Amino acid sequence: MDAKAEGLYSELRNTRQEILERLMEGNSSALIKPLLLEELQDIEQTLNKIERGDFGKCEISGELLPEDLLQMIPTLKTMEDCSKLGKYYRKSIFH
C-alpha cells in the first residue's frame, strides 16, 4: 500500500470509528441512523477495496475513477456516481 492509500485508509478507519461511536450512543434520530449505517457500509467496502488493491476502479467497467473526485469522496463506486456529482458542483469562472 502506498503512502497516499495508507493515509486514506487511516482516515477511513477513523471515520468508521466515529460513526460506530455515534451509533453506540443511541441518540441518533430515526432519520439519521439509516444514513449513518449506509455510510458505514460504504466505508467498509472502500477499506476492503484498498486492502485488495481495487480502490479507485469503477465496479462496473473497471475504468479508473477520477482521482480528484476520489480525494473528495473516496467511497465512490462507479463512473455513473462520478457523473451524478456534476449536478452538485461547478467550476469556478475565475482562473
User: What digits encode the pLDDT tens for the residues 12-26?
Assistant: 999 999 999 999 998
The answer for residues whose C-beta is within 8 angstroms of residue 58's C-beta and 6 or more apart is 64, 65, 77, 78, 79
Widest pairwise Cα distance in the chain: 47
∠29-47-7 over CA atoms, to 5°?
100
Residues 42 and 71 in one domain: no
> In whole numbers, what is the pLDDT of the chain averaged over residues?
88
Going along 1-95, which residue ranges are E strands? none
Task: For residues 40 and 69, state if they share a domain.
Answer: no
Same domain, 15 and 39: yes
Range of the domain at 61: 56-95
Beta bridge partners of 57: 64
User: Are 84 and 95 in a shared domain?
Assistant: yes
What band does 49 get if pLDDT is binned at 50, 70 and 90?
A: very high
Whether this prediction's pTM lies above 0.85 is answered by no
Structural domain tally of the chain? 2
